[in-house]
Amino acid sequence: MITLHGSEGVVAEGQDCAARPLPAHGTWLDLDDPSEAETALAETVTGLTVPSRSALSEVQNSRRLNRRRDAFYLSTPMVSFRDDDLSLRPLGFVLTPERLLTVRFQPLAAFDTVKARQAERDGPASSVETFLALVEELIDRLADTLETLSDELDSLSTRIFTFDTSANGNGRREESGPKSFAPKRRDLALRRLLRAIGRRGKALSKLRAALLGLGRILPYVAGEAEGWLKPEERARCESLRLDVASLDEFETRLSETVQFLLDATLGLINMEQNNTFRVLTVVSVIGIPPTLMASVYGMNFKHMPELDWTFGYPFGLAVIAASALVPAVYFKLKGWF
């Protein structure tokens, strides 16, 4: 889809954008998942090269930030914000003193917000103002997403550090009876915690990529376009750059929190495994004395006094039971199981 926007809203859509010359107040040409025909149309009416999706996906800094005469070709990965997985897709800007061309492959609420402001005649007028407004909205949404992830990590931290042997399937404490102590239930709770931590870590890595891209674009534009940026626009670029830097520090702290919670969860899993091995060890040790007693009375010697004793059989059973009960009581008093 191709749309031409100005300070007072939509100027033209689709084939209506083919009018040449473009209206002077149509400063922003937005290409949303464009077809080949729409790409060719945009190149015809603007005289600019529209970067392809593969070109926008290049990871080299020289590919993401370059200048051709008075046109800046800028690209960054950007998260979708509209799904739990935060899918990462390329976003491109072609910025000139007269016009801004954007190329994207997913709906972005930041774009909708700027368009709504323009429709209300309260939006940016020039190409640079539109570019900065879009970047500012993207940064705001990245900040909101990071704040949401911070709250979710706080909740996960509470679940992890209140986890015990009476954890239910959600990792929260439960006092509902013996079934709460089932190893399967504890295992399920730990699996859910690991998956939840992994999802947050994956989301943070995508947000980091988006912040890194925006953090490179802003100083590049401020430095290379100094000749046609107004003083207030340069100041705004610097302000946005500082915002990105602060968000990057916040994201680093959240990543450290994710690693801490992951280590804590793996520690819980290790403790659960140790508990299982401890129980098996105690059971095997308790079984050794009765086995020894049974082996003694199972020996085929000719003279064994207890064989001719009326109470020999119950005595043997009592000795076997006592040999199992004594170590069991001892281990219980020691708190080994």
Q: Quick one: how far is CA 15 from the chain centroid?
A: 40
Q: Is residue 157 part of a domain?
A: no
- Residue 310 is predicted with a pLDDT of 78
pLDDT above 50 for 174: no
Name residues whose C-beta falls within 8 Å of residue 187's C-beta, 6 or more positions apart in sequence. Answer: 272
Of residues 310 and 337, the one with the higher pLDDT is 310
Domain assignment of residue 9, yes or no: no
State mean pLDDT over 185-198: 88
Predicted confidence at residue 178, as pLDDT, reads 36
Residue 316 has pLDDT above 60, yes or no: yes
Q: What is the mean pLDDT of residues 205-217?
A: 95
Tokens found for residue 105: 């492959």
Does residue 155 lie in a domain region? Answer: no
CATH of the domain at 290: 1.20.58.340
Rounded distance, CA 26 to CA 230, Å? 20
In the predicted structure, residue 261 carries a pLDDT above the cut 90: yes
In a domain? residue 312: yes
Q: What pLDDT is attached to residue 243?
A: 96
Contacts of 208 (CB under 8 A, 6+ apart): 248, 251, 255
Q: Please calculate the CA angle 274-277-259 and round it to the nearest 5 degrees.
A: 25
For residue 123, what pLDDT is reported? 67
Q: Between 336 and 99, where is the model more confident?
A: 99
In-domain check, residue 289: yes
Query: Each residue of 233-260: pLDDT tens digit?
Result: 999 999 999 999 999 999 999 999 999 9
pLDDT of residue 213: 94
Q: Which residue has the tokens 């368009």?
A: 115
Q: How far apart are CA 154 and CA 201, in angstroms?
A: 14
Q: Is the pLDDT of residue 181 over 70?
A: no
Mean pLDDT across the chain: 83
Q: What is the pLDDT of residue 65?
A: 92
Q: Which one is predicted more confidently, 110 or 275?
A: 110
**Per-residue model confidence (pLDDT) at position 62:** 81
User: Per residue, what are the HEC states of 207-271?
Assistant: HHHHHHHHHHHHHHHHHHCCCCCCHHHHHHHHHHHHHHHHHHHHHHHHHHHHHHHHHHHHHHHHH
Residue 95 CA to residue 218 CA, distance in Å, equals 12
Mean pLDDT of 288-315: 77
- Per the structure, how many domains does the chain have? 1
pLDDT digits (tens, 9 = 90+) for 79-137: 987 766 788 999 999 999 889 999 999 999 899 998 888 877 776 778 899 999 999 99
Q: What is the pLDDT of residues 136-164, one digit of tens each?
A: 999 999 999 999 999 999 999 988 888 76
Residue 210 lies inside a defined structural domain of this protein: no
Pairwise pLDDT comparison (307 vs 287), residue with the higher score? 287
Pairing of strands 100-104, 26-32: parallel
Tell whether the model's pLDDT for residue 168 goes beyond 80: no
Task: Supply the pLDDT for residue 262.
Answer: 94
Q: What is the pTM of this model?
A: 0.79
- Judge whether residue 311 has pLDDT over 70: yes
pLDDT at 64 over 70: yes
In a domain, 132, yes or no: no
Classified as helix, coil or strand, 184 is helix
Higher pLDDT, 109 or 19: 109
Q: Tell me which residue range forms the domain holding 316.
A: 280-334
Answer yes or no: is 293 within a domain: yes
Task: Identify the H or E element spanning 190.
Answer: helix 183-224
User: What residue type is 260 in one-letter code?
Assistant: F
In which band, very low, low, confident or very high, does the pLDDT at 197 lie, cut at 50, 70 and 90? very high
pLDDT for 83: 65
